[in-house]
Chains A and B, each alone.
Chain A
Amino acid sequence: MSTETANDNKWIGKNTIRPDGADKVTGRAAYAADTTMPGMIWGKILRSPHPHARIRSIDTRKAEAYPGVKAVVTAKDIVNFPLDKSVMLGIQDMRWMCRNVMAREKALFAGHPVAAVAATTEKIAAEACKLIEVDYEVLPFVIDVEEAMKPDAPILHDFIQFDGKPSNIAGKLEHKLGDIEAGFAKADVVIERTFRTKPVHQGYIEPHACLVSVSDGKATIWSSSQGQFMVRAMCAYLTGTPQNDIRAIPAEIGGGFGGKTIVYLEPVALLLAKKSGRPVKMIMTRGEVFHASGPTSGSFSKVKIGATKDGKVVAAQGTYCLQAGALPGSPIRGAAGCSFAPYDIPNVLSVGYDVVSNRSKVAAYRAPGAPIGAYAVECVMDELAEALKIDPLQFRLKNAAKQGTKAAHGPVYPRIGFVETIESALKHPHYKTPVPKPKNGLLHGRGVASGFWFNAGGESSAQVNIAEDGTVVVITGHPDIGGSRASTANITAEILGIDYKKVSVLIGDTSVIGFSNLTGGSRVTYASAMVVTQSTEQVITQLRERAAKIWKIDPDAVVWENGEARPAGDNAGKFEPLTLAQIAAQASATGGPIGAGKQLNTVGAEGGFATHVCDVEVDPGLGIVRVLRYTSFQDVGRAIHPGYVEGQMQGGVAQGIGWALSEEYIYDKSGKLDNPSFLDYRMPVSSDLPMLDSVIIEVPNPKHPQGVRGVGEVPLVPPMAAVANAIYNALGRRLYSLPMSPPKVLAAMDQAAE
């Protein structure tokens, strides 16, 4: 890791020891599945074996009569949101959520929940599920996005119409800039290509799990999610419980990457707990996670880009068709919005289609949609650079968006750091090192790609309290999946001028801290830094007032420096400075406890940009691609905790390499997922990857007190194209679909040889 700007902060920018580290490495950290209660029983879900079937009836009598069974739940028990009226919670429509947690009119994918049982043991619950009789009318199904768009495709939802006809196309989004036809007319070189990608899962190690207890109408939920307030709101909607009667307690989270921004188990467990009067625990198996939780979309895309002879891109057109899964809501905004966003292009037409098909409903996955769009665009950019005989990084630099560039998805950019990522890559030893010549029969290649993600602000709450001994407790409201506690400690310690070890940062549950939006959109360090900064500044005002009271001078005559109140102006030097501990010791006498909170809907989260360089080695006999060297260059605004920033950059690249080379959902002929385990859903293992190098570039965000830009999602945007372009460089042959698995690589080479 290297950082391109130095700073003289004491804690911001330092790799302080992470507060959750010791508990995690010693196994003490409490994840959702670790919680138990006296009298607790177990919930299990019965899932549809059919990818598409009308549910004629469900008979649960035998299951209810089975010894040990305490409650059974079906769609009848879930609040029904009628199809004709949208009720949105964030990006989720409750019409779809109520049908996703429990199939209502139809089972829409193999694995779709149709009923749930709570019983005294997991085994009894599983046995009782088998006693539930579901009368299915099996219907024709469609999995693939291109198949689902054909005129004769089986239709999933009668209520969805496109162009006046029943359709699986549930939505369309369009970004336009300039005049696309006129733009292409000016181009000397135009390249148009088609790309396909498979659905890929976030691959969080911790399966979904929860424990729910309901007593006197009040529910307590312990669960693993990316937002306890999301859990509360969704459960309130889906079970008809007022929000004040639900307390959602966030467990330590074993990975989410976007996949835990919606609920699967919690509302079901709540209803089972309510019916049975017993606390109910539910844990998904890995198979259930693969069958029924949301991966991101598979896709079919067409991208056409035109440039003049001197290397200026003049027109760009993209069409991105994304699988939504069983219910509408694929990330077309990310694909259509982000794909051309790194470039200053006068004429753009970027269109996304949201397409339903009979597989599990997609959930967010790191920069949702953006990697799919960038894969297509960055591969075409590579071909254009080659056709124009320009270095691919120089080509990107020539067309890079900067301050003042109007982007097709809407904004005129403020100060951004995209150019810096390319310039940094150009001068880095990685890019300057020649690509190795073929050796021992192995071929080598290098590829580059860039990427953009919107980043987000939104609602956050914080409370900063000074304990009686002068130490500090900070509470925020979003689960920490990327280092927000360590970053918050750094910021609080920096502002207060104290040792970071004197600051403890906790994640509050829904009853102890104000509303805070999801951990997602690369928003948490950005937004929580804002509310924590403002809270801490209020605390400092109080500290100055208390010192003024002790000294009997005007508060304006007191400054806060280096962790102490000091007399200033005419009073300078007249009193001994007062430390935080000294002021805290006198808090009761000077006005009571010291602390402050802030709640904001934060704005000003500006976009993030990255450029990646990837070297691969291809075994031409077996078609195996190995990544030998990888360096990512990213403008992070300001790295509050560089170690965590590096971790985000490396993690995104690791996931991107898996997406590029080996990960995919494979369906059998009956429409069932055929690889629902980590054995055959091939995420990279550590020995598959080299050290993933990262260069942190800091172009501060002018709209943020510390200059922060979101960090966590951009790293997954460029890798697929970077790997694809490197494979082309090695083989002289392009692959246009993911994953670029050994059979595909070998087939491409055989075609080339013919």
Chain B
Amino acid sequence: MTDIQYLAPRTLDEAVKAFAAAAGAGRILAGGTDLLVQMRNGTVRPGVIVDIKKIAEVTSIEEIAGGGFRIGAAVSGAALREHPKLRKIWPGVVEAANLIGSTQIQGRATAGGNLCNGSPAGDSVPALVAAGAVVIIQGPKGRREVAVEKVPAGPGRLNLTAGEIVVGFTLPPRPKGSSDAYLRMIPRTEMDIAVVGCGVSLTLDNGTCTAARVGLGAVAPTVLLVEEAARALIGSKLDAAALEKAAVACSAACRPIDDKRGTIAYRTKVAGVLLKRTAAIAAERAGRK
């Protein structure tokens, strides 16, 4: 048995230094809603826990002109929901983060943790992929930025190098007539893990879709950006034929597994169904703007 060292640095530099020094034995604590569960059931046994919640940049939401935002990795789902402007401009991102866990979990769970847990079924990730979010990463060699869909490498694995910490996300500025939505399929009404998750972000100009991004969760080893589905939507009036084409593209992009949560056939089919429903919600929201 070994003791666990708990650190709560005030600056990112200290955090990176401590995390890098801990090497493989270190774990980042944001909300802890995955880490503590994993420690309890024995799947991880960290030697050092680096709590990043005391670092200002990591726990704040900042507005960028034109509808963009910079969201700290350790901002809780509840804090996202309570930000009136963020909720209005990025309702899909907020609703996805707010599907994670119960009300109690919402006070702790973070989008940064959701991404770094590396689960293909994380709810906030497909919405962030659809939103075109850029991840801010800081490590021993400095700061870099990368598209959110490039971060997951496989179940439980990330494209981060030793000592790198996810600092936050940048949501891009967006034109008038834009909105987003996220839907997931779970057998229960809550307290469950996505069998399929779908995020759609789009821009409408006079009823014509001028920009779109589609993120799919729980249908492949990582969350997918489905460009083919987006192409089917762009330029259309989101008519039945365009939606059907996008749905087919989503199903075609799926590389799921059969497991206790769903079958290959089921996930493949439902990805298409959810695309149509999610796109309809995003379009309805965009039309109101």
Contacts and interface: CB of A to CB of B under 8 A. Distances in A.
Contacts of B192: 679, 682
Interface of B: 1, 41, 185, 187-193, 195, 260-263, 265-266, 269-270, 273, 277
B270 to A, nearest CB: 6
B121 to A, nearest CB: 11
A687 B273 contact: no
Given A127-B1, A680-B260, A680-B261, A623 B266 contact: yes
Given A123-B1, A674-B260, A743-B263, A687 B277 contact: no
Contacts of B260: 666, 674-675, 680
Contacts of A687: 188-190
Interface in A613-652: 621-624, 626
Interface in A728-754: 741-743, 746-747, 750
A287 B193 CA distance: 18
Given A621-B277, A674-B260, A684 B41 contact: no
A743 B266 contact: yes
A91 interface: no
29 contacts: A123-B1, A127-B1, A287-B41, A621-B273, A622-B185, A622-B273, A624-B185, A624-B187, A626-B189, A661-B187, A662-B188, A666-B260, A674-B260, A679-B192, A679-B193, A680-B193, A682-B188, A682-B192, A685-B188, A685-B189, A685-B191, A741-B187, A742-B187, A743-B262, A743-B265, A743-B266, A746-B269, A747-B265, A750-B269
A561 interface: no
A688 interface: yes
Nearest to A286: B41
Contacts of A662: 187-188
Most chain B CB within a 10 A radius of its CB, from A621, A662, A684, A743: A743
Interface in A656-672: 661-662, 666
The 4 A-B residue pairs with the shortest CB-CB distance, nearest first, are A743-B266, A621-B273, A687-B189, A666-B260
B188 A742 contact: no
A684 B273 contact: no
A644 B54 CA distance: 49
Nearest to A739: B187
Nearest to B258: A743
A746 B266 contact: yes
Contacts of B195: 742
Contact of A688 (B1, B185, B189, B262): B189
Contacts of B189: 626, 685, 687-688
Contacts of A682: 187-188, 192
A54 B261 CA distance: 33
Contacts of A743: 262-263, 265-266
Nearest to B102: A685
Contacts of A688: 188-189
Contacts of B261: 680
Most chain B CB within a 10 A radius of its CB, from A666, A684, A741, A742: A742
Interface of A: 123, 127, 287, 621-624, 626, 661-662, 666, 674-675, 679-680, 682, 684-685, 687-688, 741-743, 746-747, 750
A478 B222 CA distance: 53
B36 to A, nearest CB: 15
A742 B194 CA distance: 13
Most chain B CB within a 10 A radius of its CB, from A682, A747, A750: A682
A685 B1 contact: no
Given A662-B187, A742-B187, A743-B262, 9 more contacts: A287-B41, A621-B273, A624-B187, A674-B260, A675-B260, A679-B192, A688-B188, A742-B266, A747-B266
Nearest to B276: A621
Contacts of B190: 685, 687
A145 to B, nearest CB: 20
A661 to B, nearest CB: 8
Nearest to B183: A622
B41 A742 contact: no
Contacts of A661: 187
B165 to A, nearest CB: 28
Contact of B188 (A622, A684, A750): A684
Contacts of A123: 1
A342 B13 CA distance: 74
A666 B265 CA distance: 18
A621 B270 CA distance: 7
A542 to B, nearest CB: 55
Contacts of B185: 622, 624, 742
A49 to B, nearest CB: 14
Contacts of B187: 624, 661-662, 682, 741-742
A35 B266 CA distance: 48
A616 to B, nearest CB: 14
A623 B266 CA distance: 9
Nearest to B269: A746
Nearest to A667: B260
B231 to A, nearest CB: 23
A623 B191 CA distance: 19
A675 to B, nearest CB: 5
Nearest to B263: A743
A661 B190 CA distance: 15
A302 to B, nearest CB: 26
Contacts of A621: 270, 273, 277
A263 to B, nearest CB: 26
A661 B187 CA distance: 9
Nearest to A679: B193
A624 B184 CA distance: 12
Nearest to B267: A743
Contacts of B193: 679-680
A287 B40 CA distance: 12
Contacts of A623: 266
A661 B192 CA distance: 15
B1 A622 contact: no
B263 to A, nearest CB: 5
A662 B77 CA distance: 28
Contacts of A127: 1
B253 to A, nearest CB: 18
A172 to B, nearest CB: 33
Contacts of B269: 746, 750
Contacts of A750: 269
Contacts of B188: 662, 682, 684-685, 687-688
Most chain B CB within a 10 A radius of its CB, from A287, A622, A687: A622
Contacts of B266: 623, 742-743, 746-747
Nearest to B259: A674
Nearest to A123: B1
B20 to A, nearest CB: 29
B84 to A, nearest CB: 26
Contacts of B41: 287
Contacts of A674: 260
Contacts of A684: 188
B201 to A, nearest CB: 22
A123 B39 CA distance: 13
B19 to A, nearest CB: 26
Most chain A CB within a 10 A radius of its CB, from B188, B195, B261: B188
A626 B186 CA distance: 12
A666 B277 CA distance: 31
A746 B196 CA distance: 14
Nearest to A624: B187
Contacts of A675: 260
Contacts of A680: 193, 260-261
A684 B191 CA distance: 10
Nearest to A689: B189
B250 to A, nearest CB: 13
A624 B188 CA distance: 9
Contacts of A626: 189
B194 to A, nearest CB: 12
A626 B189 CA distance: 9
Nearest to A742: B187
A685 B277 CA distance: 25
A666 B187 CA distance: 15
